[in-house]
Structure 1
Amino acid sequence: MRIATANLGAGLETVLLQEDGSAHVLGMPIAELIGKGPAALDRLRTSGGLPLLAPGEFTLAAPIPAPAKNVFCVGRNYMEHIAEGDRAQKQEVGVTQVPVFFTKPPTAVTAPDGEVPIFPHLSTHIDYEVELAVVIGKPGRDIPRERAMEHVFGYTIINDVTARDIQRKHGGQYFKGKGLDGSCPMGPWIVTADAIADPHDLGIRCLVNGELRQDGNTRDMVFDIPTLIAALSAGMTLEPGDILATGTPSGVGYAMEPPQYLRDGDIVTCEIDGIGRLTNRMRAMGSAAKRVA
């Protein structure tokens, strides 16, 4: 099943997408739906009489447009990406013994087909990273690896947009360079876990203006999804609606020779087999401060 958040102009609705592009309105916020578990979703799906939106009556927001927490992310989780990063930075970090975690704030979340703001007065080294994202459905702390997949509600796509120069300026730590407004395009929907036979065997790609830049497979993760969930949940409760991006394969812009960074008007498309396609345009923003009421 494909669960999405539909933007009707006057508000947002959680919907069950149909093959013909229409959508059944499920009548509750997506975070609430996820928290009720698969049984509630099955009841809604089979109850009949759900309002139907025709194609063209809605656009898609990010599937979880306002996460209750920061989006959890994993760095350095594909061997070839680790190698290209070490080569580009003239270092030899290699594979870490445990996963490298960081986060992106909720203000970074951007809708599919939405514009991603980039800030030339702050950064001229904007990069892309296609990632498989896991949506947690069942709460837990100290989740054992062998039970971890029971806690997965479904999967979506994230583009971990990164300001590399800001990342380096702040000592190489990830948060600031990866946490700018709009730097977490997400979507276009959540595919429920029962619809993905093996999340560790999915083709994963990123194209910039139609040019294939990243072309990998989730089987190449250093730390698989059960390992990531077990490590992240150690001493820390994961809750329904939490999002975990699992890392990116090789082909990022800063590791190309010469480096290729994103500019105003560039179109980035992230694809994962069995899930779909997430496309966003980069939009340069001015330096004027935004007033917050």
Structure 2
Amino acid sequence: MKIGRVEYRDETFYVQAIEDGARMLRIDGDIFGDYKVTDQELNCEEVRFLIPVDYSHRKQKLVQVYCFGNSFTLLRPEVAERYIREGKRDQSVNIWQRIFARPHTSLTPDGQSIPILPEDDNDLLHEPEVVLVVGKEGRDIPQGRAMEYICGITCGNDITTKRFFYWSSKGSGSAEGLAEIEASGETYYESGIIDPWKKIYDKTTHPDGMPTIVPWLGAKSLYGSIAPWMVLGEDINYENLDFDFKVNGEVRIKSNTHRLKPKTNLPEMISGLSHIVTLIPGDLIFLGTDFSTAPWPPIQVGDVLETCVYDRQKLLVKNCNQFVNP
């Protein structure tokens, strides 16, 4: 079942897609609890899509947006083969990763324009991702039951504002910090391991081992997008979903969720997250970006970004937004 959330004639409510969204029926109630699909059909021309989950308090708990970083294998196939031949360590099996949250206010609904602030021109990194939808509350979930807590998927773009993120060991600003790191020797991509974060952490670590850069809130609070629909309650092959990403119609990423690192599969990710926070219905979990084709040009004014997710060659969800001048 394909579910969205809309503003329609001064009301806000969930809708069910009919004919892949060509028609819509109103839903009364809470889609994560008691609800009813009515026979009220909407005039699609009057519909304005919102973020697909309701972020109001549910039983005194607020729905959250969680994100995983460094979750996909980072080796290009040809480099992985060379590493195997040479007996080198494949960083794609490194269990180390980062979990962070982003404010839901940073997610622009599908179809709406996203203004780029002047200070962020040439500074935005796109990160198209498959997004899981949590269906029931859970804490300390065992891996063997983790997928029982997921009720569907959507997709979005976990955009990074790099001026908050790239810092040097001296604490200088983004451009200077990045230049200092790159001037120090090997670039992030020179070795064939596409890991733009490792070099930064190597260069910005206190003697006690704590990284000096943790500016996730700033880097993730300004820009992002989310698809209009969630696909819920269907037989979704979560661990074998194709997804692709285009900028102005040009394909930049083609990947699949089976490229998640061997030691960071979906059950482990969900279980691990639930040991840090209590998951509640409606929480969104961004699974991370496949950086194997990086580096990419920064987002420009006028760019149209489109992310699509497929299950067994069937299009499930699509997210499309254009970046504009403020």
Which bracket does the TM-score occupy, shorter chain normalised? 0.7 to 0.9
Matched, 1:76 2:70: yes
CA contact (8 A) 2:231 2:317 kept: no
Rounded to whole Å, the distance in 2 between the matches of 1:113 and 1:65 is: 18
Rounded to whole Å, the distance in 2 between the matches of 1:81 and 1:14 is: 41
Amino acid at match of 1:60: F
Of 236, 261, 264, 2:277 maps to 236
| Residue 110 of structure 1, CA deviation | 0.9
CA contact (8 A) 2:9 2:46 kept: no
Partner of 1:94: 91
Partner of 2:259: 220
**TM-score w.r.t. length of structure 2:** 0.72
| Residue 180 of structure 1, CA deviation | 2.9
Matched residue SS, 1:173:
coil
Amino acid at match of 1:160: D
Q: Could you say if the C-alpha distance between residues 193 and 33 of structure 1 is closer, same or farther in structure 2, counting changes exceeding 3 Å?
A: closer
Matched residue SS, 1:77:
coil
Matched residue SS, 2:253:
strand
1:216-267 Cα offsets, whole Å, 9 max, x none, are 1111111222111100001521111111101111366xx33xx511111111
Rounded to whole Å, the distance in 2 between the matches of 1:81 and 1:60 is: 37
Rounded to whole Å, the distance in 2 between the matches of 1:227 and 1:174 is: 25
CA contact (8 A) 1:65 1:109 kept: no
Amino acid at match of 2:91: G
CA contact (8 A) 2:158 2:220 kept: no
Partner of 1:105: 103
Q: Could you say if the C-alpha distance between residues 75 and 193 of structure 1 is closer, same or farther in structure 2, counting changes exceeding 3 Å?
A: farther
| Residue 130 of structure 1, CA deviation | 1.0
Partner of 1:14: 14
For residues 30-45 of structure 1, the aligned pairs below 5 Å read: 32-34=30-32, 36=33, 40=34, 44-45=36-37
Q: Could you say if the C-alpha distance between residues 209 and 187 of structure 1 is closer, same or farther in structure 2, counting changes exceeding 3 Å?
A: same
Rounded to whole Å, the distance in 2 between the matches of 1:272 and 1:124 is: 27
Partner of 1:209: 248
Amino acid at match of 1:168: Y
Partner of 2:298: 261
| Residue 16 of structure 1, CA deviation | 0.8
Partner of 1:278: 319
Matched, 1:194 2:234: yes
| Residue 65 of structure 1, CA deviation | 5.6
RMSD: 2.5
CA contact (8 A) 1:213 1:251 kept: no
Matched residue SS, 1:277:
strand
For residues 40-59 of structure 1, the aligned pairs below 5 Å read: 40=34, 44-45=36-37, 49-59=38-48
CA contact (8 A) 1:126 1:162 kept: yes
Q: Could you say if the C-alpha distance between residues 163 and 269 of structure 1 is closer, same or farther in structure 2, counting changes exceeding 3 Å?
A: same
Amino acid at match of 2:52: P
- Percent identity between matched residues is 25
Partner of 1:4: 4
Larger Rg: 2
**TM-score w.r.t. length of structure 1:** 0.80
TM superposition outliers: structure 1 runs of 4+ over 4 Å? none
CA contact (8 A) 1:139 1:238 kept: yes
| Residue 56 of structure 1, CA deviation | 2.4
Rounded to whole Å, the distance in 1 between the matches of 2:19 and 2:282 is: 25
Rounded to whole Å, the distance in 1 between the matches of 2:322 and 2:120 is: 19
Rounded to whole Å, the distance in 1 between the matches of 2:215 and 2:9 is: 35
| Residue 98 of structure 1, CA deviation | 4.2
| Residue 59 of structure 1, CA deviation | 3.1
